[in-house]
A and B are shown apart, each in its own frame.
Chain A
Amino acid sequence: MILTPEPDTHYLNMDLLRFTTAGSVDDGKSTLIGRLLYDSKSIFEDQMEAIEKTSRSSGEEEVNLALLTDGLKAEREQKITIDVAYRYFATPKRKFIIADTPGHIQYTRNMVTGASTAKLAIVLIDASKGVLTQSRRHAFISSLLQIPHLVVAVNKMDLVDYDETVFNRIVADFREFARKLDIQDITYIPISALKGDNVVSKRRTDKNGEEKDFMPWYNGSTLLHHLETVRVDASDNAVDFRFPVQYVIRPNQNFRGFAGRIASGRVSVGDEITVLPSRTTSKIKEIVTYDGNVEQAFPGDSVTLTIQDEVDISRGDMIVRRNNVPEVTSQFEAYLCWMNEEAMQTGRQYLLMHSTKTTLVYIDEVIYRMNVDTLERETSDELLLNEIGRVRLTTAQKVFIDAYRSNQKTGSFIIIDPASNVTVGAGMIRSKTTGKVSDTNNDTNAITEDNRKISPNVVWEPWNIDREEREKRNGHKAMVLWFTGISGSGKSTIAKALERKLWELGKHTILLDGDQVRHGLNGDLGFSKQDRSENIRRVGEVARLFFEHGNIVICTFVSPYAEDRAKVKLLFPEGRFHEILVTCKPETAQQRDPKGLYDKAKKGEIKGLTGYDEQHEMSNEHTIVIDTDKTTVDESLLTILDKINSED
């Protein structure tokens, strides 16, 4: 029969949100999901009957909502969740797919799996326990997997008498930790999954049968309302067109179509394209679908492309726009999560599956292992089950990669053990290998090194001549010497003398001075905290450009905030950035007052002068400290040159 009626429009225009939940056995994660399903009326009578029966037979008093989600027999017997389970529910606004993952440390791989397809993550925190190691681990993995939205659900508020101060303290603790992460959007919601507060609605019936809001101090959304309204499409890369060819469709001599799903960007009929790896160029002739040809196709669309010229294209090739091409390389660096009981070994042959291409791969080196609980970097030659590390890989065939941060589809890969055929690792590409970066210090800002501003429409242009090549010809290493300290401490004096000295020794140098950059490049910035941070950020990027061109870059900036300096440091390989604190007694600086700033500050003409009415933040990052009350310029130079030479 042919069906004529159009579907009920009530169900039209629903979109879809995939989210992941992580929490330990005791955080009430299963209860929360049970609550979402139950309160959104997504549980059917027979399912409810089944769990009532099970609750009774295991001697529990209340119906255990967690039983709705704990699927397999073994798990229910042990009352834990050991694998990623997918749940579905829908409200009139949205369809939801939950990737429900266990939270215990040995299930890091499950969290990574669940997070890989999620656009939002819910991290559960037990209000009576506060921010625990595992809460931080969940947040870290969400950050590593670049989930754009994070919800911190502070659960069991009923156990702390719905106390606002408990909630605020947890929020403050988490915020402090989250500064080190790379997550754009974090929302904090106090809930009780058991009782239902703020899950679906703010109010619930109390024991006297009255409707009541138990947390009137909380003015934000309920969890479900947030899930229904958060923007889901904003994180798609709509710019860089990448089309991994999946399958060639050739029904007859006259049709040759390349089937695939648009990984990112968009494509239109007539677009000039390049096919990788052959680099053959052509134009898009048609975009074919069963429902008729279309003029344009978008990220996520499964389509079939035909092209104007006869070009040999097969599975594993990639069609891209002619002027926007990914890295074509056989060497790159990535974060790798190991997922198998058998440890990862360097120098062993594995298979790498990236987009639609599978090739042999060696994991050459573990640059460092990340302690997922402390975020510290540790030295290691191998990765064990559930460990995450930064590695360098070499593939047999070239792969077409983008950084995971800018493109999840072409920035991700899995590692397969060719002996067992099992998936043993999951990787997120960081970059093409640019020289050996060996750093095993306990730098807790590990992730923010990727946290750089990248204009959305810009593709990184590889260096024309590698830094290594330049260094070889220059006969010295490139490095950055960053002088920090209050006005009048003597930074500029020492820096100028140092540059002259290096110049005489035949080194390639650049001197970046605070006042100079503020006259041009940063002329639009003032002295607010925000502007000062931006000033330092820009200088850091400029220093990086000169650094990559093989120079010794000397920077003299008050740079009062430790965090700003730490961010700049992360732009450079370990051992190439030296922070030199130049210090003296405030009286000495005020007496020197080379620019007359202290004088103006005393007269009240300027405010916020570092060293007068604003603190200069110290940190543990200073490689060298020079006290100009006690040291002459020449002595300072010797100290600095000694330090540089000892690094060489």
Chain B
Amino acid sequence: MKNAHLKVLEDEAIYIMREVAAQFERPALLFSGGKDSIVMVHLALKAFYPAKIPFPLLHVDTGHNFPETIEFRDNLVKRLGVELIVGSVQESIEKGRVKEETGPDASRNALQTVTLLDTLKEHQIDAALGGGRRDEEKARAKERFFSHRDVFGQWDPKNQRPELWDLYNGRKNMGESFRVFPISNWTEMDIWQYIAQEKIEIPEIYFSHERRVFNRRGVWLADTEFVNRLPEEEIVTKVVRFRTIGDATCTGAVLSSASNMDEIIQEVAAARQTERGNRHDDKRSETAMEDRKRQGYF
């Protein structure tokens, strides 16, 4: 017996994915290696079974990934037999499209936007399926399932189309595109419950493990070659896990001993912090997320 509310969310997400496949010429699924995009791939498998997923996965590689993420991605692509497009932030820097940030908080997170837009344009992607959820951040609460982007790939909150019933209007002019969010209505808890129910494989770093970390303004960051550590920031070894997986420079770990799905679900249920609470990028200003979205962020 399946969980009733997850069934509704799954049916809805599959419906959206099929609408995308039907309404657009060249869609792609944005794949970060994080749990949300892994769930998205699982839903896409279901939506088009017994056929293969009819669109490529697109990964924007900041070059600052956890190695587990890349390994997981490559295995998944091989297993499913789908096309993988990689947009490289490193290349964007080398081509002079973006300038690397400096200083201790330097992150390639913001630079990703340019690489993403360039890659979408290069491959003429007219609909990018993303794993964004409305519960993540308040700027996302008003996001549509079918989110219209102008020719610059930008999001204008005032110019979004009303969405009624389950009628999704994907019509657009030349050069315009859409971001589509099939799991808009899911919460973090739904994602974890679904991963457990469907027995979906996820990268090891979501489960507790020992890691060398240091504390910056209350966030535990992993000690990696990509982060400019300040002299007073001391490295310690802690039992941690990640609630989200993004760029290693700005994704914080949580102190946790949750080593299996059951324990993770218990932990999420008891959590008093949102998952993005550990995201340094959102803490830059009160409207950080909204500002980035306008520019074409995921």
* Interface set of A (CB-CB < 8 Å, partner B): 1-8, 11-16, 44-47, 50, 53-54, 68-69, 71-74, 83-88, 90, 94-95, 97, 109-110, 112-113, 116-117, 246-247, 249-251, 255, 257, 259-261, 288-291, 300-302, 304, 315, 339, 351, 353-354, 356, 408-409, 412-414, 416, 421-423, 426
Contacts and interface: CB of A to CB of B under 8 A. Distances in A.
Contacts of A250: 51
B198 to A, nearest CB: 9
B284 interface: no
Contact of A423 (B21, B169, B199): B169
Interface string B157-196: 1001111111101011100000000001101011001011
A73 B292 CA distance: 13
Contacts of A304: 49
Given A302-B18, A409-B165, A95 B11 contact: no
B274 interface: yes
A15 B5 contact: yes
B185 A3 contact: no
B11 A302 contact: yes
Nearest to A233: B4
B103 to A, nearest CB: 24
Contact of B3 (A11, A68, A249, A300): A11
A7 B266 CA distance: 10
B162 A339 contact: yes
A110 B164 CA distance: 10
A611 B229 CA distance: 95
A43 to B, nearest CB: 9
A68 B189 CA distance: 19
B273 A86 contact: no
A16 B19 CA distance: 23
A86 B187 contact: no
Contacts of A356: 22
A73 B290 contact: yes
A78 B15 CA distance: 37
Nearest to A408: B165
B166 A409 contact: yes
Contacts of B197: 7
17 contacts: A3-B200, A7-B193, A8-B262, A11-B189, A13-B3, A14-B5, A44-B271, A72-B290, A87-B135, A88-B134, A88-B135, A249-B49, A251-B50, A261-B11, A289-B49, A412-B165, A414-B165
A54 B286 CA distance: 9
Given A44-B277, A414-B165, 10 more contacts: A7-B265, A11-B269, A15-B5, A16-B8, A71-B139, A83-B142, A87-B135, A255-B50, A300-B8, A408-B165
Contacts of B141: 69, 71, 85-87
A301 B45 CA distance: 16
B204 interface: yes
B171 A247 contact: no
B46 interface: yes
A249 B51 contact: yes
A301 B46 contact: no
Given A54-B286, A85-B142, A5 B167 contact: no
Contacts of A255: 50-51
A16 B287 CA distance: 30
Nearest to B204: A1
A95 B172 CA distance: 34
A426 B167 CA distance: 10
A2 B201 contact: yes
A11 B138 contact: no
B239 to A, nearest CB: 18
B169 A353 contact: yes
B275 to A, nearest CB: 9
Contacts of B273: 44-46
A414 B287 contact: no
Interface string B235-279: 000000000000000000000000011100110010111100100
Given A72-B290, A117-B165, A86 B139 contact: no
Residue with the highest number of chain B CB atoms closer than 10 Å, among A3, A72, A73, A257: A3
Interface in B1-55: 1, 3-5, 8-12, 14-15, 18-19, 21-22, 45-52
Contacts of A416: 169, 171
A414 B164 contact: yes
B134 A288 contact: no
Contacts of B3: 7, 11-14
Task: For the complex of A and B, list the 10 residue pairs with the smallest distance between their C-beta atoms, beginning with the closest.
Answer: A251-B51, A302-B14, A46-B277, A290-B46, A421-B171, A290-B49, A116-B164, A7-B196, A16-B5, A71-B138
Nearest to A57: B286
B201 A421 contact: no
Contacts of B11: 261, 300-302
Contacts of B277: 44-46
A414 B169 contact: yes
B142 A71 contact: yes
A261 B185 contact: no
